[in-house]
Amino acid sequence: MRLTLFLIIAGVLMSAGRAPVSAEQNSAAAAAAIVERMASGDFASVHARFDATMRASLTEEALANVWAAAVAQFGSFQSQSPARVSRTGQYDVALVPCRFQRGELDVQIALDSAGRIAGLYLLPPGSVSGEAQPSQPPAPAPAAGEAREEQVTVGKGESALPGTLTLPAGSGPFPAVVLVHGSGPQDRDSTVGACKPFRDLAGSLAARGRGIAVLRYEKRTKQHAAKMAASAGSITVREETIDDALAAVALLKKHPSINPQRIFVAGHSLGGMLAPRIAALDADIAGIILLAANARPVPELILEQLAYIRSLGGPEAETAGQELERAMKAAERIARSSGDSPAKPEEWLLGVPDSYWLQLAKYDPLLTAKQLKQPMLILQGGRDYQVTEKDFNLWKGALEGKAGVTLKMYPRLSHIFVEGEGRSTPQEYSRPGVVSDEVAADIASWILRQQPKRR
């Protein structure tokens, strides 16, 4: 589970034309200076440039907290690229691509005619005015006679998401799996650092001899980042994850190459935690696969992750320690909260509104899983520090004796099921790695053993 769900700061939403050259140069320079000051910890001078609306919605401390959350997830700030500036109404909108130790973010800054900051976002890379461009389809392309790729659209209207359906060689109908993301704004490959676990699984499961179709898609918080930011106070996991997973299943039911009685859902991390809820909402789902799925409340895991990163030492330990202190206070307040008195933005846990955590706390994944009629496969990496063996044992204990449940632990695998040695660290994600073929083989053999439902 990644440390942040929305790296978002309140602001204005934009889609724009080109700014005049002189204004573009001035705004680009201003945006570069703003990013440089945040990277150096000078949040006071950035906050001093806020317009009245921004000052009312975001304190200096809250700005510092959101930047700290970005550093906790992506590592220390490394560099920025030249800003791209466009014009919307009375605003110049600068988009500054930023490189961190373990990933990239775009900082979008809206400046009014006086140079005041009227909007500020931290967005997934590749976003344009908050609407992310689809990640590129997997490369290299499948060889002739092997699996093939089909570009699809999951859902309809303003929330539609581009996706990729990987189909095995042949005409089908094939069993199929919908891959459901963990937390954070993610692309269809579930890219983290140099790793693309969903792309790995799609290719492995669709390979000759396994013959399982795989559907993966851009996550809504990436593809429609600005729209999600605008309604951050009302977003729940239903809008973030569940509705789109159900739409993906519905798409597969109508596809001529897919067996509608053999559609499975595989969720990773938060997606795995939500898999029982997704299956409970659609009885046609043939079974669920939980990949490094947490059974405990998410705030508890966030505190555990930060404490673990602090224990590793190194340059990130101090940042993780500072964030841990803030997160502990926020988690304690959320645990006591009834929701009647909303917290201030600077008090939010990792920049995420309390309403999100309070809604998620109402969901009991273990109880929901106990009540399911569909079969379940639960897989866990032994080197995972983000969702740990504690969670695996909770699933194991809660589902003991329940028919149709299979569990397996892989001692050498990480949170994204890549093999490694020793203690797992955030830096691992910066090194290219692929999902263990043992995991793909186990998923494939389990799916192929499941008998289609009788109608």
Q: Which residues are catalytic?
A: 269, 384, 415
Residues in the chain: 455
| Separation between Cα atoms, residue 378 and residue 397, nearest integer Å | 12
HSE-CB of 48 using CA atoms within 13 angstroms? 5
| Separation between Cα atoms, residue 175 and residue 212, nearest integer Å | 5
Measured at the CA of 119, the angle between CA 118 and CA 125, to 5 degrees, comes to: 150
Closest by alpha carbon to 268, among 298, 287, 294?
A: 294
> Helix (H, G, I), strand (E, B), or coil: what is residue 448?
helix
| Separation between Cα atoms, residue 419 and residue 427, nearest integer Å | 14
Contacts made by residues 351-355, CB under 8 angstroms, sequence distance 24+: 351/4, 351/6, 351/7, 351/8, 351/9, 351/62, 351/65, 351/66, 351/69, 352/4, 352/5, 352/6, 352/232, 353/232, 353/233, 353/235, 355/233, 355/234, 355/235, 355/236
Omega before 140 cis (within 30°)?
yes
Tokens encoding 207: 């390979």
Sign of CA pseudo-dihedral 93, 95, 96, 98:
positive
DSSP annotation of 421: -
HSE-CB of 340 using CA atoms within 13 angstroms? 2
Closest by alpha carbon to 261, among 224, 286, 290?
A: 286
Instruction: Spell out where 84-134 has E strands.
Output: 84-88, 91-100, 103-111, 117-123, 127-128, 131-132
Q: What DSSP assignment string belongs to 152-182? A: EEES-GGG-EEEEEEE-SSS--EEEEEEE--
- The two beta strands, 84-88 and 17-18, are antiparallel
Instruction: Say if CB 83 and CB 92 are below 8 A apart.
Output: no
